[in-house]
Chain A
Amino acid sequence: MAVKSKSQLNDNQPPVLGSWRRVYWFVALFFVVEVGLFYLFTRFYS
């Protein structure tokens, strides 16, 4: 198996959270939390 060079490895790694799968989950969960907060905000001020 070919060993990836450092630059190739960096090219595929996100700057945070270790893997892209985790970054995508973070974005999706952030959206869910955001909509939840919007819902509470709407209910509180309606």
Chain B
Amino acid sequence: MSTLDYIVLLGTLVGIAAYGMWRTRESGGLQGYLKGDDSIKWGTIGLSVMATQASAITFLSTPGKAYDDGMGFVQNYFGMPFAIIFICVFFIPIYRKLNVYTSYEYLGQRFDSKTRYLGAILFLVQRGLAAGITIYAPAIVISSLLGWNLDLTIVLVGALVIIYTVSGGTKAVSITQRYQMAVIMIGMFIAFGMIVGNLPSDISFGSALSVAGAMDKLEVVNFSFDIEERYTFWSGLFGGVFLSLSYFGTDQSQVQRYLAGSSSSASKFGLLFNAVVKIPMQFFILFVGVMVFVFYLFEKPPVFFNQSTLDAVAQTEHAGQLLSLEGEYGEIVDQRSVAVRQLAVALDKGDEAEIGLAKAKAVELEERALLVRNEVKELISKAGEDFEAKDSDYVFITFILDYLPEGLVGLLVAVIFAAAMSSTASELNALGSTTMVDIYRRLIRHEKSDAHYVRVSRILTAAWGVLAIFFALYANLVENLIEAVNILGSLFYGGILGIFFVAFFLKSVHGSAVFLAALITQASVLLMFKFTDIGYLWYNLIGCVLVMLLSLLLQMTVFRSEGKVSES
């Protein structure tokens, strides 16, 4: 990166953080610190919810996913609009009516303290680990490509987030997210324009689309009922509803965003904004990835997108084999480029016979190229246990670093870090608030001044930030880390959602029954995960249903007398 890139990068990240701190320099009181004085408008809430969900890995991995597998991943979000409508109808009115700071506070009011602690602790464990990954994931990608010191990158990014989150609380998080989201979207549109602009002059945008379609990258929806298909309309709709209900309805990092609204209307409309905008946004990010794929059909791509790993393998005994595979790959992609040009010409002419022939040739060469890429990945795995043989996270950033002009590279790297910071800020803000409201204020210090609780919130937010940095520094010790965190989330989300569903819809069930049901469910889910091969996304549904059924059963049997006492 050039000096100009560093100026743009640092100016964007530090500038937004400083502005957030300046805007919130006078916010006081616990209400102001944890809920932004209930003064935030729906537009800011909408962007804040979006920025919380979209972490750096969204902008690194999603285009890479489209590069490998096409557009089908967008179906994962199909359940989200319906989950958000459900939350607006059932969750938000109750949260607002009870004026809670955290979603787990509601569990305390509806059931009892132990259920509240259970919900809060499950959240703290899962989100505490995830916060470290949110910082680590972009830092490892960017630092390995740019040769930065990984530990220093993690500490600097983490420290910047801690400073403005601790200083301004919820309002600072929301205000900075508005500008971080603006930078992210501007950066992505510029990147898209640059990709299209860098296509060969004889390939129009229409031809590029036709080529992408012919290479099977533009299948957006798949109505197949095949449960072995990873992304279908049905799995996205039904699996996505439960995942989104848990995430937007019970995860404090999201609940805190919309509870900061100036009114119930602002909270609902900010959330509904995401129900409308999220799917087109994901479509666009995937589409950027498909355009990167088309670009590399004409321009020679690296055989593996993580150059630092290739350099490391070149230092091992496998160097000769790697060189030979690189040579083979180069020849195949040269031939593929010629075949794709012929396909584009045939598609423009509309000659079906010619299209069929050219497509068959291009697809055959693409398959051969993929085989060589897979051989390289196998070789990387063989070369060393520490080498990561997955490069989809590196595809988009490699394009940015290699083909974007000075200044824009800095802006796009800022996009990645802005996304990481916006997600981390929400997580730290939620972790600090939950620890203060649900643990500290309940268990340790009951009757203290607002100023005391604000001070403790700041200390706890900073402590979670330091813990997140610490976890990020040691994150490489965990194998396949991002998937591990996703699995961890799915193992806990279902049970938490089940507790909330019981609270909302099963009025006859009381605290002890739901608490025990949640513990049994959690143990059952962990055992099922250990001893069966059920896909982890299903645990969201299983956990939720199991808590509801067990709660009813326990209330009618073991805790029958407790119910009668409460009623009398």
Cα–Cα, bound, A27→B78 (Å): 12
Which one of B210, B220, B264 contacts A42 once the chains associate, using CB atoms below 8 Å? B220
Q: From DSSP, what is the main secondary structure of chain A's interface residues?
A: helix
Are B276 and A13 in contact, CB atoms less than 8 angstroms apart?
no
Interface 0/1 of A4-16, CB less than 8 Å to B:
0001001111110
Interface 0/1 of B24-51, CB less than 8 Å to A:
0000000000000000001000000000
Which one of B42, B81, B209 contacts A15 once the chains associate, using CB atoms below 8 Å? B42
Q: Which of B45-82 contact A (CB under 8 A)?
A: 74, 78, 81-82
Question: Does B233 make an interface contact (CB < 8 A)?
Answer: yes
- Given known pairs A27-B85, A31-B81, the reply for A46 and B213 (CB within 8 Å) is yes
Which one of A11, A20, A27, A41 contacts B81 once the chains associate, using CB atoms below 8 Å? A27
**Smallest CB–CB gap between A7 and chain B, Å?**
8
Are A46 and B219 in contact, CB atoms less than 8 angstroms apart?
yes
Question: Does B268 make an interface contact (CB < 8 A)?
Answer: yes
Question: Does B173 make an interface contact (CB < 8 A)?
Answer: no
Which one of A10, A24, A30, A46 contacts B218 once the chains associate, using CB atoms below 8 Å? A46
Are B272 and A27 in contact, CB atoms less than 8 angstroms apart?
yes
Query: Which partner residue on chain A sits nearest B262 by CB separation?
Result: A11
The number of chain A residues with a CB under 8 A from chain B is 23
Are B272 and A45 in contact, CB atoms less than 8 angstroms apart?
no
- Given known pairs A27-B276, A28-B82, the reply for A15 and B221 (CB within 8 Å) is no
Are B264 and A11 in contact, CB atoms less than 8 angstroms apart?
yes
- Given known pairs A27-B84, A27-B85, A27-B276, the reply for A38 and B265 (CB within 8 Å) is no
Are B85 and A15 in contact, CB atoms less than 8 angstroms apart?
no
Question: Does B181 make an interface contact (CB < 8 A)?
Answer: no
Question: Does B279 make an interface contact (CB < 8 A)?
Answer: yes
**Smallest CB–CB gap between B488 and chain A, Å?**
30
**Smallest CB–CB gap between B390 and chain A, Å?**
27
What are the residues of chain B within 8 A of A12 when measuring CB–CB? 264-265
Question: Does B13 make an interface contact (CB < 8 A)?
Answer: no
Are B221 and A28 in contact, CB atoms less than 8 angstroms apart?
no
Which one of B81, B210, B221, B268 contacts A38 once the chains associate, using CB atoms below 8 Å? B221
Interface 0/1 of B261-273, CB less than 8 Å to A:
0011100110010
B positions within 8 Å CB-CB of A: 42, 74, 78, 81-82, 84-85, 88-89, 209-210, 212-214, 216, 218-221, 233, 263-265, 268-269, 272, 275-276, 279-280, 283
Q: List 30 A-B contacts (CB under 8 A).
A: A7-B263, A11-B263, A11-B264, A12-B264, A13-B265, A14-B265, A14-B268, A15-B265, A15-B269, A20-B268, A23-B269, A23-B272, A24-B88, A27-B84, A27-B85, A27-B275, A28-B82, A30-B81, A30-B276, A31-B82, A31-B275, A31-B279, A34-B280, A38-B74, A38-B220, A38-B283, A42-B219, A45-B210, A45-B212, A46-B216
Top 10 A-B pairs, shortest CB-CB distance:
A45-B213, A38-B220, A45-B218, A11-B263, A38-B221, A31-B81, A24-B85, A27-B275, A42-B220, A11-B264
